[in-house]
Structure formats: structure tokens, C-alpha cells
Structure 1
Amino acid sequence: MNIKNFAKKVLNPRSSGIISAQTDNFLRRLKPRRFVKDYITGVYDNNVRPNVSDNTVTLSVLTDTHAKAVASASYYGINGIRHIIEANSAGDDLNIDLNVHLGDLIDGSDKPEISRGLLRFAVENYQKSTKPFYIAEGNHDENDKYDEHRFVSSASFNRDDYDSLVTKYNFEQSEISRLNAVSKVGWYDKGDVRLIFLDTSDIPYILNNGSKKYDFKKVRGVREQQLEDLVTVLEDTVDKHVVVFGHANIISPSGRSALNFNGDLIQQIFVSFNNKNRGQIKNELTGDFGVNLRYDFSSTGISKVSNYICGHMHYEKYYKVSGINHIILNCSALMGKKHGLTTDYNKKWDRRYNEISELAGYFINIDPDKLRLQIFGYGAATRYVSFEI
């Protein structure tokens, strides 16, 4: 059976016989397409390499791959996994410091055993790469879309499924640090650059009669413990150029919270850090998302948070609030223009399977000497944009 027919048989969402072993068998047959790997390598060689030096940090970045057990040639499907395989395969031969995925590895609409298999396979691919990696959690990664569509009475993912399949492997790498075994804040250092990774799906797993109190797909937020850990990491960040990453945008261009809970508090922490302030941060909430913290950023030297980079919105956008650039990257998943959920941004790209427009990915370079952050896009992405750090 050829790979196309095998995909149609195994990745049929209407089939009651689909099992994780079949899916895993299919995934392991996937290989990077030569024209894609050559294209990504060419983007690096022609656009990135001439504009970076050894004293910089260079990342290969994907976001919102929305992998799904469907052999789709026009929308979300197994192509999301293939994009990961191809980006990592190309990056193995390039001067990349870190592979980054900004969340929504999966669409979260498959049966739980299939979604777990997709997460497991994606992480294994990052582990097999020659580069260290960081995978941020997205709002689709807890499989709540499956629960919504089937109106099930119990959560399809257990409390620790995502952490045991993905998060723990971030922190098994010596290059990635965190404060303790349960902290949701990670960081990576190279020279004068510090990258900090946040979890914008920091939602408590609480069951009411078997169903989740909070739908992880619909609710985005950060809780007090993560904010306290962020403060601690920043208080110990001295003379660093800081760039922060997460899945979802934390504030709107007007400065209002873009998360359901506490996105504006993250921005307040960044601004206070840049101003070397001491003080207190709190909100008017109680319970799951109440916050009341103190901070002291007076001894951080010339450190500054310059940019926050995320995905989630399935388009590109850049805006500055209180001196901090907020950068939204396009989704790496295929979004054909005839699908109802395809954003106008992606409709304009007219993205098509087996063409360059199927892809969307980025090389991000942070240069502490030139005080510059450069983004080199490929596929359905802006080719070049730069920001101050």
C-alpha cells in the first residue's frame, strides 16, 4: 500500500477502528520532502546566514501546527506533523541554537489516544534533532476541542497528560532552566541574551461531575504562581537582553489584557522590570486567578524586556505598548482559503498543499551587539522584519 492510500485508510476521522498503533506506524513512515528541506535551507543560506554572527542567538520557530489525524490537502491534518519533521530536519544542518514551537502542536479534536500519539511523536522528533528545543503549551493542546464537538461528559485528557508527554521533556535538557520541578516558566541563556518562555494556558484542571470547570481551548490565562516565578527569574536577570515567548498574545494594541486572566499583569511586570522599579502587583480577583505579589527590579543592571513573541491568532501583526514590541507570528498549519475558519491573512496567501505556501515558519535572530531582533519568514510569512532590543 502506498503512503497516500495508507493515509486515507488509517487517518479517516469517521472510522471507528482507528487506533494509536496504526497512526504511529503511519507517522513513522513520514519523511521530509526534499523540495521543502531544500527551500528552508535556501532561506537560511541566502537570507539568514549573511546577516548573523556567532555572538547572536538564532532560533527556528514554528507555531500552531494543529496536527490532526486527517489526510487533508487543504486544511489542518497530518501536514502539521510533516512541517515539524521538515523544519527540524533542515535545522539539523544549519547554525541554529534552539528549535522553538509556540504551541498548538495538535488541533485537539481527535480521540484522546490519537492526540496523545501525535504529541508523543512530535516531541520525539524534536528530541531526535541535533538542536535543543522548547515547546510552549497552546490552548488546543489539552484536547478540549474533542470534548466540545462530542459533548462528552468527561475530560478526554487527564490532569498530567500534556505535562508527561511534552513539558517534562523541555526541562530534561541541560540548556533549558526552570526554578523548580513544577514551575511553568522556562528560560534559555546564551551570552548577553536571555529567552524566557511563559505558559498562557496556565489554567487549573478542576473537574465538576467529570467535566472541566475551565475549557482550556476557550480560556487563556496565567496564575499567581507563574507570575511569582516570572518575577523571581527577572529579579535574577542582570545585564541581559530579554525576549519573552508564549503561545497567545498577552495584551491588545490598546494595552488591555488579551488573555482571559492576567495578561495585563504580565505587561505590567515587563514595564516595571524595564523601569527598575520596586512595588506590588495585584488584581481584584480572588480564587483561581487572584494575584497579589511584590517585586524588586532595582538590581538588574541594563537588562530590558524588548519583545514578546507569540502565535495563536493565525495572522501576523506587530504593535508596541509602553516600549515593548508585541509580535504575532502566522500559523504553520495549512489553511486553504476556502475554509470558513481560515483568516483573511491566510486567504491572501492562497495556501496550497505541496507548494511553498503550504508552510509558514521563521528564523529569529537576536543580536546583542547591534541591538536588533530580526525575523526571517518563509512560506506564508513575511520575508523580513526587524525590531530593536
Structure 2
Amino acid sequence: MKFKNLTHKILRPRPSAFISQQLDRFLGQIKPRPFFTDYIINAYNTNAKKRISKNSLTLSVLTDTHAKAVASASYYGLNGARHIVEANKACDDLPIDLNVNLGDMIDGSDKPEISRGLLEFAVENYQNSKHSFYVLEGNHDENDKYDEHRFISSASFNRDDYYQLVTKKVFDQPEISRLNSVSKIGWFDKGSVRVIFLNTSDIPYILNGNTKKYDFKKVRGVREQQLEDLITVLEKTVDKRVVVFGHANLISPSGRSALNFNGDLVQKVFTSFNNKESGLLKNELTGDFGVNLHYDFNDTGISQISNYICGHMHYEKYYKVGGINHIILNCSALMGKKHGLTTDYNKKWDRRYNEVSELAGYFIDIDPDKMLLQIFGYGSATRYVSFEI
């Protein structure tokens, strides 16, 4: 037993005293600013409240917060974690059903002990808020950006780090449904509305020596087991209005896969579900991303998947493929106009620290009575757009 405990400590060392102090100093700076919480509450009350009915499902949504242990006034930094704290604080006083983060909660470029601390801090804030929450895994959340930049010879996150810090705590909530203890598909119901959460960073953790076979930051995909679970959930979805959320965009406007693996197969599942079809879902791959599955959506009543909503691209865009609206939301993280990686979309917003343009967030309302999905943006986000469900 002593040998096992020692091995555990070697694999997952405790942060040094210096790093612990550094982390505490960073986290101590993350406090909500009353101006921003008041602004978010006012955005809901003036823009969203009058359009929302009692039977609808309402979400507070952030994506791509890219929290990083830097006090940056023009780019990624502690502002991302602060946006989570401020949105959750504001929503404690609002009739929200679920707080959602669509992934890339951290930038993944800090020392692993600090990145773990930022993830833990953010999840604890979601846990301490008054509403249930769902956090999706983004391609930055496995800390591979740190591995890339440091050219280190071993993976900085262990296999289950993200699961233990984030996913397990999401699924510990009784309000969040899950097929089984290993499924990566989750869902949340309210009346005749169902929201399903899909993991687009479903990449196997395989080591070649000490380095990962796949770079989570660069590779996005959905594996057979998750597709099988998605099919199972949808086969049992009867007379529901369904909206699916993920981190990364699944397909391009032309219908080609936007994931490295199987985005087009997810789209095929969506359209087959809407058409009440049965058949075979298959690709030409073998190994890690091969797929060969049967589906039968004949007994799902009037259920329809109307919209897929994601982040990842750091801009806003809407397009329709095969009857499904694909909706991309802007990043919450501050992107100053003079930074090389800042998208043209965010340059046009001219985002500035301590001004409302610093953040970007959304209230998303799914109304089964009006048959409408409404998106109310604030900060560097479109104020209103709606889609049929």
C-alpha cells in the first residue's frame, strides 16, 4: 500500500510552495466587478426578459474564456476567469435554468499545476452559483498548448486530470442526465425541450513514450462510442424539441466535416433523426476513429433537432445545412485589436479592458410555445437573433 501511494505521488506531484503561492496570488485577483454584473443583469432585463415565456428553457452561455495566469489588459488572461465569476454572480439573481460554458475554459498554456488550479477555481464557482451548470471540454483544456510551447518530453496533464476536475463534477449533479458512468453525452430537459451536450474533443489519450499520440489542441473529433451513445439518447427522445451544443463546429457551410474526425457523421445522425430514418452509420476508417453503427429513429414522435450551437472559432456565424442551423458564438476572452491571433470579427468590436466590449456572453432561450430559439448577446456579441425550432 505504501508503494502505491508513493507511485501516485510521482505521477501527480503536488505543486511546489512557490507555484502554490503564485496560484493563490492569481486566483485572489479574480473578483466580480459590480459594473459588469450590473451590466449583465440589465442586458437580461432590457433585452431578454420581455421576450421570454414561462415554459421556455433559458441558458446563460459563455465560450472560450481562455483563462490564463496573466493580468493582461489587452488579451487572454485572468479576465477570462473573471467573466465566468461575473456571469454566474449576475445570473444568481435571474431566472436562468442552466449556466453553460462551451469549452476552452482555460488557455492551456500555463504550467500544469496552474492550469489545474484555474479549472478547479472555475468549476467551484459554477458549483457555488445558484443554478445547475454544464461545462464542455474544449481543445485547449488538456493543456497541450503548454506542451507545444515548452517542447517538453512528457504530457503535462495526466489521462484523468480534466475528468476529475471538471467532467465528474458536471455529472455529479442530479439535474444532468447521462447514459452511464463513462458516457461523454449529457443532456438536460425542461418540459418538451431537450438540450444535448456533445464532446468534440473526444480524442484518445495514448502515449508514445511520454508524449501524446494526438495533440488535443490541434485535433478534434467524435469517436464511435460517443456516436453510439448519441444515437441511443436520440432513439429514446420522443416528442422533444432538441438543441445540441458542442465546443467546435461540426461541418462547414458546404457540408464538409469541420472536425478532423467524424463531424459529417454527427450531421448525418441529426438529419436521419429529423427524417425518422433507420440505417447504418459508417466511415472508411479503422482504429481510433472508425465507426460502424446501426440507428433507428422511427419511433421518436414529433422530435426534431433544429440547431447546433458551438464556439471555438472566435467569431459569430450562422449557416444552415440539411435543415440544421449551425450557430457559432463569439469568445468571451478579451481579444484586443492589435494582437496577431485576434479575429477580424473581434477587431471590429475594438475590445477594451474594463469596458463592456471586454466580455462577450449570451442568454439563449428555447421556447416550445413560440417554436423559437432566441439568442440575446451582450458585450462583444450580437444583441438579438432568432431561429425556428
TM range (shorter): over 0.9
Counterpart of 1:383 in structure 2: which amino acid? R
Distance in 2 of aligned mates of 1:203 and 1:175? 26
Query: 1:67, 1:76 within 8 Å by CA — same for their partners in 2?
Result: yes
SS in 2 for 1:293: strand
Distance in 1 of aligned mates of 2:279 and 2:372? 30
Distance in 1 of aligned mates of 2:184 and 2:24? 29
- Aligned residue in 1 for 2:388: 388
- Aligned residue in 1 for 2:216: 216
- Aligned residue in 2 for 1:31: 31
Q: Does 1:307 align with 2:307?
A: yes
Distance in 2 of aligned mates of 1:339 and 1:29? 24
- Aligned residue in 2 for 1:259: 259
Query: 1:24, 1:121 within 8 Å by CA — same for their partners in 2?
Result: no
Counterpart of 2:330 in structure 1: which amino acid? N
Instruction: Please state how far the C-alpha of 1:354 moved relative to its aligned partner.
Output: 0.2
- Aligned residue in 1 for 2:166: 166
Q: How does 1:21-100 map to 2 (within 5 A)?
A: 21-100=21-100
- Aligned residue in 2 for 1:109: 109
Q: Does 1:138 align with 2:174?
A: no
Distance in 1 of aligned mates of 2:18 and 2:302? 55
Structure 1 residue ranges, 4+ long, deviating more than 4 angstroms after superposition: none
Distance in 2 of aligned mates of 1:222 and 1:316? 23
What does the per-residue CA deviation read over 1:316-371, in whole Å, with 9 as the maximum and x for residues that have no partner?
Answer: 00000010000000000000000000000000000000000001000000000110
Query: 2:194, 2:240 within 8 Å by CA — same for their partners in 1?
Result: yes
Distance in 2 of aligned mates of 1:339 and 1:316? 19
- Aligned residue in 1 for 2:338: 338
Distance in 2 of aligned mates of 1:20 and 1:198? 34
| Structure 1 residues 310 and 142: CA distance shift in structure 2, 3 A | same
SS in 2 for 1:189: strand
Unmatched 5+ stretches in structure 1: 1-15
Instruction: Please state how far the C-alpha of 1:23 moved relative to its aligned partner.
Output: 1.6
- Aligned residue in 1 for 2:157: 157
Counterpart of 2:103 in structure 1: which amino acid? G
Counterpart of 1:147 in structure 2: which amino acid? D
Per the normalisation by structure 2, the TM-score is 0.95
Query: 1:103, 1:136 within 8 Å by CA — same for their partners in 2?
Result: yes
Counterpart of 1:116 in structure 2: which amino acid? R
Q: Does 1:191 align with 2:195?
A: no
Query: 1:315, 1:330 within 8 Å by CA — same for their partners in 2?
Result: yes
- Aligned residue in 2 for 1:372: 372
Instruction: Please state how far the C-alpha of 1:21 moved relative to its aligned partner.
Output: 3.9
- Aligned residue in 2 for 1:318: 318
Distance in 1 of aligned mates of 2:237 and 2:189? 10
- Aligned residue in 2 for 1:176: 176
Query: 2:116, 2:165 within 8 Å by CA — same for their partners in 1?
Result: yes
What does the per-residue CA deviation read over 1:253-310, in whole Å, with 9 as the maximum and x for residues that have no partner?
Answer: 0000000000000000000000000101000000000000000000000000000000
Query: 2:26, 2:69 within 8 Å by CA — same for their partners in 1?
Result: no
Instruction: Please state how far the C-alpha of 1:27 moved relative to its aligned partner.
Output: 1.4
Counterpart of 2:95 in structure 1: which amino acid? N
Counterpart of 2:211 in structure 1: which amino acid? S
Distance in 2 of aligned mates of 1:352 and 1:163? 34
Distance in 2 of aligned mates of 1:38 and 1:197? 29
Instruction: Please state how far the C-alpha of 1:18 moved relative to its aligned partner.
Output: 5.2
SS in 1 for 2:84: helix
Distance in 2 of aligned mates of 1:327 and 1:35? 29
Cα RMSD, aligned residues only: 1.0
- Aligned residue in 2 for 1:12: none
Q: Does 1:241 align with 2:225?
A: no
Distance in 2 of aligned mates of 1:208 and 1:21? 34
Counterpart of 1:245 in structure 2: which amino acid? F
Query: 2:196, 2:244 within 8 Å by CA — same for their partners in 1?
Result: yes
Counterpart of 1:287 in structure 2: which amino acid? G
SS in 2 for 1:31: coil
Distance in 2 of aligned mates of 1:172 and 1:61? 20
Query: 2:30, 2:78 within 8 Å by CA — same for their partners in 1?
Result: no
Distance in 1 of aligned mates of 2:297 and 2:18? 53
Instruction: Please state how far the C-alpha of 1:43 moved relative to its aligned partner.
Output: 0.5
Distance in 2 of aligned mates of 1:258 and 1:116? 29
| Structure 1 residues 18 and 110: CA distance shift in structure 2, 3 A | farther
Instruction: Please state how far the C-alpha of 1:127 moved relative to its aligned partner.
Output: 0.3
What does the per-residue CA deviation read over 1:201-222, in whole Å, with 9 as the maximum and x for residues that have no partner?
Answer: 0000000010000000000000
- Aligned residue in 1 for 2:270: 270
Distance in 2 of aligned mates of 1:41 and 1:185? 31
Deviates more, 1:36-45 or 1:18-27: 18-27
Unmatched 5+ stretches in structure 2: 1-15
Distance in 2 of aligned mates of 1:20 and 1:304? 49
Counterpart of 2:168 in structure 1: which amino acid? K
Query: 1:20, 1:117 within 8 Å by CA — same for their partners in 2?
Result: no
Distance in 2 of aligned mates of 1:257 and 1:305? 18
SS in 2 for 1:231: helix
Deviates more, 1:354-363 or 1:23-32: 23-32
SS in 1 for 2:232: helix
Q: Does 1:207 align with 2:195?
A: no
Per the normalisation by structure 1, the TM-score is 0.95
SS in 2 for 1:180: coil
Q: What fraction of aligned residue pairs are identical, expressed as a percent?
A: 79
Q: Does 1:288 align with 2:288?
A: yes
Counterpart of 1:371 in structure 2: which amino acid? M
Counterpart of 1:152 in structure 2: which amino acid? I
| Structure 1 residues 350 and 17: CA distance shift in structure 2, 3 A | farther
SS in 2 for 1:75: coil
- Aligned residue in 2 for 1:11: none
